[in-house]
Amino acid sequence: MTTIKYDPTQDFIHSTLTSITGRPTRTGIKRLEKENKDNARQIHSLRGNGNEGHLRLCYTLDRFNARPAVAGTPWVDPVHPGTRPDVPDGATGPQITRMVSAHKYDLTEFQLFQSTEKALLRKTMEAVEEVYYKSLQDPDEGYSTLSYNDLIVHLNEQYGTLTNDDLDKNIDRMNAKWTPTQPIEQLFHQINDARSFARDHDNITERATIRSALKNLENSGVFTLALKEWRNKAEDDQTWTNLQTFFAKANTERLRSITTKQAGFHDQHQANNANTNSSPYFVKDMAGNTMAYCWTHESNGT
């Protein structure tokens, strides 16, 4: 049996996950989950819709296949094809070649699936102090039978419960002041992160999301006309997705206008300096006659 020597971690976006110091929190656990999902996506697979790599490893199989992204193309976990290809008696040379090739492909898929899960598990264990998952250790087998999802479920059940204080702080993060010197994407990210954090616990509605964004944009003082145009839109068009697109464009135009004005000021400033330097400088000679010196042509005369 051939064993692949490919190390999935070499293609991980996050070679080291964000460590959790001390007792895990929901915020820290969710960050780990997100980073692991980023990594799993990087390990190619044609299974499912063929576009999400090994993301399946970050979900239970049923939950992964319930996602709209894989509707009609359910993921099926690879299985070990056996140590050798099953070649029937009387198979021709070309048939044997195809069977051997298919067996090698199936074995490689299975081994990649297994090695990717082990890599996700190992990286997560490195990011969390062992005392917080040591109860999962088998007295004889250690962690050899532990899966990545087993560990994540344990961390969420033991340490991922949200309190009212957690939810209040999350709203504060969503409403944190945005200033025009920051990328507008920063505002969108903080709101989307807050919605994701509260999902399945105290969902932030779309209307509340839009109100938060509009309040921040209004307080910035730089979107007066854009805000007026937005509020004149049909109610059905005032969605969170549309708001992000609309104000991203409005911000691009705002920045373009600032750049244009700054360029115009710079050009005018240079012109003023040129005019000043080319103007004649009047002095009197020793006889009391007025003379003019031209900076541009370096000449003088009376």
What string of pLDDT tens digits covers the 302 residues of the chain?
A: 556 678 999 999 999 999 999 999 988 999 999 999 999 999 999 999 999 999 999 999 999 999 999 889 999 999 999 988 888 888 899 999 999 999 999 999 999 999 999 999 999 999 999 999 999 999 999 999 999 999 999 999 999 888 899 899 999 999 999 999 999 999 999 999 999 888 878 899 999 999 999 999 999 999 999 999 999 999 999 999 999 999 999 999 999 998 877 665 555 555 555 555 544 544 455 555 555 544 444 445 54
Please indicate, yes or no, whether residues 98 and 207 belong to a single structural domain of this protein.
Answer: no
In a domain, 250, yes or no: yes
Please indicate, yes or no, whether residues 141 and 51 belong to a single structural domain of this protein.
Answer: yes
The domain boundary, picked from 159, 178, 210, lies at 159
In a domain, 282, yes or no: no
Rounded to two decimals, the pTM is: 0.68
Look up residue 64 and give its two tokens.
């992964």
What is the pLDDT at residue 283? 46
Amino acid at residue number 79: V
Q: How many CB atoms lie within 10 A of CB 54?
A: 25
In a domain, 290, yes or no: no
In a domain, 294, yes or no: no
Please indicate, yes or no, whether residues 137 and 38 belong to a single structural domain of this protein.
Answer: yes
Convert the pLDDT of each residue in 23-52 to its tens digit.
999 889 999 999 999 999 999 999 999 999
Sign (positive or negative) of CA dihedral 83, 85, 88, 89: negative
Please indicate, yes or no, whether residues 133 and 12 belong to a single structural domain of this protein.
Answer: yes
In a domain, 284, yes or no: no
What is the pLDDT at residue 302? 47
Please indicate, yes or no, whether residues 12 and 155 belong to a single structural domain of this protein.
Answer: yes
In a domain, 296, yes or no: no
Domain enclosing residue 70, as ranges? 8-159
CA-closest candidate to residue 188, choices 152, 142, 242, 224 = 242
Look up residue 177 and give its two tokens.
């002041």
What is the Cα–Cα distance from 281 to 291, expressed in whole angstroms?
Answer: 8
Please indicate, yes or no, whether residues 26 and 153 belong to a single structural domain of this protein.
Answer: yes
What is the pLDDT at residue 277? 52
Please indicate, yes or no, whether residues 148 and 65 belong to a single structural domain of this protein.
Answer: yes
What is the Cα–Cα distance from 162 to 154, expressed in whole angstroms?
Answer: 15
The domain boundary, picked from 106, 124, 159, lies at 159
In a domain, 176, yes or no: yes
In a domain, 15, yes or no: yes
**Total structural domains in the chain?**
2
What is the pLDDT at residue 7? 93
What is the pLDDT at residue 295? 40
Please indicate, yes or no, whether residues 235 and 152 belong to a single structural domain of this protein.
Answer: no
